[in-house]
Amino acid sequence: MAPRRGWFFGGRGIATPYLERLCGDGVVALSMDYPLAPEARHPEPLHVLADGVAGVLEAAGLAGVPVVLAGDSAGAGLAVALARLTGEEQYAAAVGVRPPLPREQIAGVLLCCGVFSPRGTQQADRWSAEILASSAWALSGERKWQLSAFAEHLDAVRGTASPLPPTLLVSASGDPLHANQSVPFAAALTRLGSPVEMWVSDDPGAGHEFQFDLPTAAAVDALERVRGFLRQL
What pLDDT, on a 0 to 100 scale, did the predictor assign at position 63? 86
Domain extent, residue 56, equals 2-232
CA–CA distances in Å: residue 158 to residues 38, 95, 162, 178, 212: 26, 16, 11, 17, 29
Question: Looking at residue 121, which CATH number applies to its domain?
Answer: 3.40.50.1820
Give the total number of structural domains in the chain: 1
Q: Which residues of the chain have pLDDT under 70?
A: 1-6
- Residue 214: alpha-carbon gap to chain centroid: 20
Q: What is the pTM of this model?
A: 0.95
Counting residues of the chain whose pLDDT is more than 90, the rounded percentage is 80
